[in-house]
Chains A and B, each alone.
Chain A
Amino acid sequence: MATVEEPRAAEALFIRPDGKEKVTGLGRYTADLNLTGQAHAKLRYADHAHARITRVDVSKARALPGVLAVLTHEDVPDVKYGGMVQDRRLFAKDKVLWEGDVIAGVAALTAELAEQAVSLIDVEYERLEPVVDFAAAEGAPLVHEDWESDSGDDTMGRDGNRIGYSTIVKGDADAAMAEADVVVKGRYTTDCSQGVPIEPRAVIAEWHGDRVTVWSSTQVPYAARAGVATVLEIPESSVRIVVPLLGGGFGAKCDFHFEGHVAALARAARRPVKLVFSRREEFVAVDHRREGMVIELETGAKADGTIVAHRGRLVLDKGAYCGEGGFFAQMAAMHACGPYRMENIFVEASLNYSNTQPSSSIRAPTAPQTCWALEQQIDELAHALGLDPVELRRRTLIEEGAEGPTRQVFEKLGMKETLERAVEMIGYGRELPEDEAIGVACGWWPCFGAPSGAYVQLHSDGTGTIITGAQENGTGAVMAFPILVAEQLGMSPGDFSLLYQDTDAAPWDMGSCGSQTTFNSGRAAIAAAVEVREQLLDAAAAKLEVDREDVELVDGEARVKGAPETSVTIVDLVGEGGPFHGKGSGDVPEAPECDAEGCVGRLGMESFLAPQLITQAAHVKVDRETGVVRVLKVAAAHDSGVIVNPMGANGQVTGGVVMGIGQALTEGTQIDAEGRQRNPYLLDYKLTTAADAPEIEIAWVETPTANAGPKGSKGIGEPPCVATSGAIANAIRNVIGTPVRQLPMTPERVWTATREGNQ
């Protein structure tokens, strides 16, 4: 429970309910919880990225004094689970498929004993050739030998190591390419990268009879609940997931992860069991990273810039398991087309299994890398045409009435306005020192319509509580619900407490993913408030003996429109009876129409609902001798519809740009030939530090949007990191005169490109 307070700063709409406890250190995260009698869990991970398990001997671990439970696949139901393809078991059975595959779990009196027990587990393997080069996975040994028997989404186009295949087809790209005045081609590769939440994950499970409560640092409590129920073969009603404060997620804590392991250990140990990850595990063991990609693009245009043909071939690294990331091929294919008017398109994207960490949603999955490649190609096209890159974008970006890659006809949107605002803020075209330059990139991201539910109730003293299934991952989206609800009731945000992150309390919610919290859960909270509003109006009309239509709720009162002296306070109304409680979901906006007949692997990304539009411009300085790039300023202009909470929205852009700079310049997971991560620690997985953060100037292009969320809003969380690396790439190219076609654009890669460009 948290209570909203009124802010002291004029520019803040409100103080977020979880703000004070986070700032003062009073906040309790999952790892801070300790239950009486709790035991500690450690997991035994695979010793090889790809191997057949020939023997697992846990006898020495079980015999160690202080060890309460040791579990392998033999001790839990033989269930395969997974978001879009059910290809994974809680504990590996026949084969291990990546270095983070879990073979066994231990619960012991102390974490040290658990660690010791884990090392006493003997595992024998027959080593298999690891599939590390995901782009060549199609002819390689099968990662999942029994893939055909795994159940999963049939539209994905699964075939051996290829788990997904999607195309975007519009017109005849081959014929149009042959007719183009100018054609540019490029091949771009990206390393996989990580979400790196500052809070390493933690899970605690405790059983009461045949019900289990799991405290978990998850972004998706309801998916975690479903996961526990599935793997332990118990009803969802027997599982309660509670999320204490969440210390960041960035997508890495989406999906069901370790709640099942810990629940199983707690049941076996007959005690509460706690698992807390080390930083290394947060890199190596989580089945959630940003996918590596190989992107080949070819674009043909007429002399005036009209894009007549666009071809693309993308391969994405799925890693060892599917999880919820099975839609990536189609999502990447859409981003390979981008927010441009293109007359003819053929883009195909393959999502391949490999023996490395699974890829799943990290903040705008597939978009930053694909946007980075496409935006470099658009700049190259401009150079080839002799046009200014901004001018080419002016001529080709989507606008109202334009057709998307699948002939979705766009309603009003602010794409071009974001371009103009970003260009203006960065001072495009001005004279700069010879080692500095500006680059511009555009991108987009859809809103996701999903069901959600909320309750609102008023208490006898005129305060209220909002009960929501939404998950707060730090963005402040849930924290803004009191604003939305209070507005409906003529009350103040500070009147409301929030009950959230408890699956026993609130209706199902998709969770903190897909930039959807305000869009869907906010809609539900408003719908619940509207029910209460109706109840209040009824009660007020009776009390004041007036027509219900004549009553309005303002400043904590129900009063007669035009005659404010005839009024009753909401406190008095609720004190006299009730009930005043509402529930709501609201109508889920439908996906816009499109013509995707010719496209395969359609998973719902073929049209973009209420698209969020992005232009970012980066001003960089390149040390040509070393290849070190410093970002001096980023101008970010976004159309996210109407901004509900400016301080929160600005925070999302600031954080997204800083994350985007890391992805652009320093953040890449390196994998060796054996499939092992070479830099699973923060010294050599280099995040952008506060000292590296540039000036960030933000503009909101608030465009009235069809099918928008509450108050005309769209999503905000993911788009800010979509265009950053593309803008930086184009700026670097403008200094060194040659593109850098590997992401991240590390100093060594920039230096290499500079030298090769000079030859």
Chain B
Amino acid sequence: MSTFVQATTVAEAVGAMSGGARPVAGGTDLVVGARQGKAPLPESIVAIDRLDPLRGIELSGGRLRLGALVTHAEIVAHPGVLEGFTALADASAIVGSHATRVHGTIGGNVMNASPAMETGGPLLCFDASATLESVAGSRQLAVAELLAGPGETTARADELLTAIEVPALPGAGSCYARLEYRRQMEIAVVGATAVIVLDGGLVTDARIAITALAPTIRRVAEAEEALRGTDGGRAAAEAAAEAAAAASAPISDVRASADYRRAMAAVIARRAIEAAVARARGENVPVPASPALHGAV
């Protein structure tokens, strides 16, 4: 017997979840995955799409708060995100197609925990944290600790993600780029995030993450190390990108061979770094960065 509850309050939602219900937000992973045969629809579902407390983007006191229901389209349209968290806008701007971006939420993207998902790299690099709520109460943990493996999070099944909080990093230039075989409806075969802070022309803070190159999206300390203290120029970007490629653990599958992925890790990471540096210098790199970086017209 399958059940479906349309929650109107957070309490109702977490109540249903404590009884075993799975939340559905935009449904673009859950429902599409079920129709594709990935996993059957859960027996018990609670729809959370009408929970107002899970909506809205707020930017105040040096923190960005994204309600779990914030859609990719809303992220891309937000001036504060575009300005201070550009990599996140780059990421949301290339999710699926327009229809996917209007329905798909940041909460669903994170909780689905695909190693190829777009927003993970930017969230890791900006040290984002997640607020989880259950009948037992609420807790906060770093997104880095939340993402545990392909399709796995460290959240308990009865925990509802209510918001993502991202501390601002003043002066940072950032970029997320992915390899794209076609212009829409793509999935990251290789993705890279770079967040760069410059001071007096030198890199004082560098954060690099690789996407779709390991069981989880991960930061690469060696790449960050390779950039710190440099001018962020081509040589430094290349060295850091090589480090990112070396830290990757790519697989061979229908999308690409491991060799190609590793080689592309260096290319895409370098491009993301160069764009982040350019943005940190105040130069204009359009959002999303991917098409522009890959030379498309």
Interface residues of A (CB under 8 A from B): 278-280, 435, 621, 623, 625-626, 628, 630, 632, 665-666, 670, 678-679, 681-684, 686, 688-692, 746-748, 751-752
Report B256-274 residues with CB < 8 Å from chain A CB.
Answer: 256-257, 260, 263-264, 267-268
Please give the number of chain B residues whose Cβ is less than 8 angstroms from any Cβ of chain A in the complex.
Answer: 25
B-side contacts of A278, CB under 8 Å: 35, 37
Choice from B35, B255, B257, B264 contacting A626 with Cβ under 8 Å: B264
Please tell me if the beta carbons of A751 and B295 are within 8 angstroms of each other in the complex.
no
Ordered nearest first, which 9 A-B pairs have the shortest CB separation? Answer: A691-B183, A691-B184, A748-B260, A679-B254, A689-B184, A625-B267, A678-B254, A684-B254, A692-B182
When the two chains form the complex, which single residue of B35, B182, B295 contacts A623, counting CB atoms closer than 8 Å? B295
Question: For residue B97, which residues in chain A have a CB less than 8 angstroms away from its CB?
Answer: 689
Structural contact, A670 and B254, CB atoms closer than 8 A? yes
Residue-wise, chain B 169-209 has the 8 Å CB interface mask toward A (1 for contact) of 00000000001111111010000000000000000000000
Residue of A nearest to B256 (CB): A748
In the complex, B297 has a CB within 8 A of chain A: yes
Residues of B within 8 A of A (CB): 35-37, 97, 179-185, 187, 254-257, 260, 263-264, 267-268, 294-297
From A623, A678, A691, give the contact of B294 (CB < 8 A). Answer: A623
B254 x A628 contact (CB < 8 A): no
Residues on the A chain within 8 Å of B35, using CB: 278
Chain A residue nearest to B182 (CB atoms) is A692
Chain A residue numbers with a CB within 8 Å of B268 are 626
Q: What residues of B have a CB within 8 angstroms of the CB of A628 in the complex?
A: 179-181, 294
Considering the complex, give the chain B residue whose CB is closest to the CB of A747: B181
Q: Which of A278, A670, A683, A688 has the most B CB atoms < 10 Å from its CB? A: A683
Expressed in whole angstroms, the Cα–Cα distance for A328 and B142 within the complex equals 59
Residues of B within 8 Å of A666, CB to CB, are 181-182
* CB-defined A-B contacts under 8 Å, sample of 30: A279-B36, A280-B37, A435-B295, A621-B296, A621-B297, A626-B179, A626-B264, A626-B268, A626-B294, A628-B179, A628-B180, A666-B181, A666-B182, A682-B185, A683-B187, A684-B254, A684-B255, A686-B181, A689-B97, A689-B183, A689-B184, A690-B184, A691-B182, A692-B182, A692-B184, A747-B260, A748-B256, A748-B257, A751-B263, A752-B260
When C-beta atoms are compared, the residue in chain A nearest to B180 turns out to be: A628
- C-alpha spacing A475/B72, complex, angstroms: 37
- Which residues of chain B come closer than 8 Å to A746, judged between CB atoms? 181
Q: A746–B268 Cα gap in the complex (Å)?
A: 17
Cα of A623 to Cα of B184 in the assembled complex, Å: 17
Quick check: A689 and B185 within 8 Å, CB to CB? yes
A residues less than 8 Å from B296 (CB atoms): 621, 630
**A396–B297 CA distance with the chains assembled, in angstroms:** 36
- The complex places the Cα of A280 from the Cα of B34 at a distance, in Å, of 13
Identify the interface centre among A626, A678, A748: most chain B CB within 10 Å of its CB.
A626
Interchain CA distance A756-B187 in the complex, whole Å: 27
Bound Cα distance from A15 to B150, whole angstroms: 51
A278 to B37, CA, bound (A): 10
Contacts A280-B37, A623-B294 given; does A686 touch B182 at CB 8 Å: yes
The closest CB in chain A to the CB of B263 belongs to: A751
> Is there an interface contact between A632 and B295, defined as CB atoms closer than 8 Å?
no
- Measured in the bound complex, the distance between the Cα atoms of B36 and A683 in whole Å is 10
Closest to A685 in B: B254
* A residues near B297, Cβ cutoff 8 Å: 621, 630, 632
Q: Which residue of B lies closest to A279 (CB)?
A: B36
Q: Using Cβ atoms and an 8 Å threshold, which residues of chain B touch A681?
A: 36
- With both beta carbons as reference points, the residue of chain B lying nearest to A662 in the complex is identified as B182
By a CB distance below 8 angstroms, the chain A residues around B181 are: 628, 665-666, 686, 746-747
Which A residue sits closest to B36, measured CB to CB? A681
The distance in angstroms between the C-alpha atoms of A460 and B267, with both chains bound, is 73
Instruction: Enumerate chain A residues within 8 angstroms of B263, measured Cβ to Cβ.
Output: 751
- Report the minimal beta-carbon distance from B292 to chain A, rounded to whole angstroms: 12
Min CB gap B84→A, angstroms:
28
Chain B residues near A692 (CB, 8 Å)?
Answer: 182-184
By a CB distance below 8 angstroms, the chain A residues around B183 are: 689, 691-692
Interchain CA distance A690-B182 in the complex, whole Å: 10
Q: A475 to B297, alpha carbons, bound, how many Å? A: 31
CB proximity of B295 to chain A, nearest CB, Å? 5
A690: chain B residues within 8 A (beta carbon) = 184
Rounded to whole angstroms, the CA-CA distance of A690 and B99 in the bound complex is 14
Residues of A within 8 A of B179 (CB): 626, 628, 747
Contacts of A683 in B (CB 8 A): 185, 187
List, in ascending order, chain A residues with CB within 8 A of B257's CB: 748
Question: Which residues in B have their C-beta under 8 angstroms from that of A279?
Answer: 36
Question: CA–CA, A639 to B56, complex, Å?
Answer: 57
| A residues less than 8 Å from B256 (CB atoms) | 748
**A residues less than 8 Å from B36 (CB atoms):** 279-280, 681
User: In the bound complex, what is the Cα–Cα distance between A279 and B35 (angstroms)?
Assistant: 9
Q: How far is the CA of A621 from the CA of B296 in the complex (A)?
A: 8
Instruction: Find out whether the CB atom of A751 lies under 8 angstroms from the CB atom of B187.
Output: no
Measured CB to CB, the closest approach of chain B to A740, in angstroms, equals 14
Bound CA span A626–B261, Å:
10
**In the complex, what distance in Å separates the CA atom of A441 from the CA atom of B35?**
41
Which residue of chain A has the shortest Cβ distance to B293 in the bound complex? A623
Q: Counting chain A CB atoms within 10 Å of each CB, which of B36, B181, B267, B294 scores highest?
A: B181
In this complex, what residue of A is CB-closest to B268? A626
Which of chain B's residues have a CB closer than 8 A to the CB of A688? 182
Please, which residue of chain A has its CB at the minimum distance from the CB of B257?
Answer: A748
- B residues near A686, Cβ cutoff 8 Å: 181-182
B-side contacts of A747, CB under 8 Å: 179, 181, 260
Q: A630-B296, A690-B184 are in contact. List 10 more A-B contacts (CB 8 A).
A: A626-B179, A628-B181, A628-B294, A665-B181, A683-B185, A689-B97, A689-B185, A691-B183, A746-B181, A748-B256
Q: Please name all residues of chain B whose beta carbon is closer than 8 Å to the beta carbon of A280 when the two chains form the complex.
A: 36-37
Q: What residues of A have a CB within 8 angstroms of the CB of B295 in the complex?
A: 435, 621, 623
What is the bound-complex CA distance between A279 and B37, given in angstroms? 10
Point out the residues of chain A lying under 8 angstroms from B182, CB to CB: 666, 686, 688-689, 691-692
User: How many Å lie between the Cα of A66 and that of B181 in the bound state?
Assistant: 46
CA distance A95 to B297 in the complex (A): 53
A630 to B268, CA, bound (A): 17
Q: Which residues of A contact B260 (CB under 8 A)?
A: 747-748, 751-752
Query: Do A626 and B267 have beta carbons less than 8 Å apart?
Result: yes
A693 to chain B, nearest CB (A): 9
* Complexed CA–CA distance, A278 and B185 (Å): 20
Give the CA-CA distance A679 to B181 in the complex, in Å: 15
Closest CB in chain B relative to A362 CB, distance in Å = 20
Q: Give B179 Cβ to nearest chain A Cβ, in Å.
A: 6
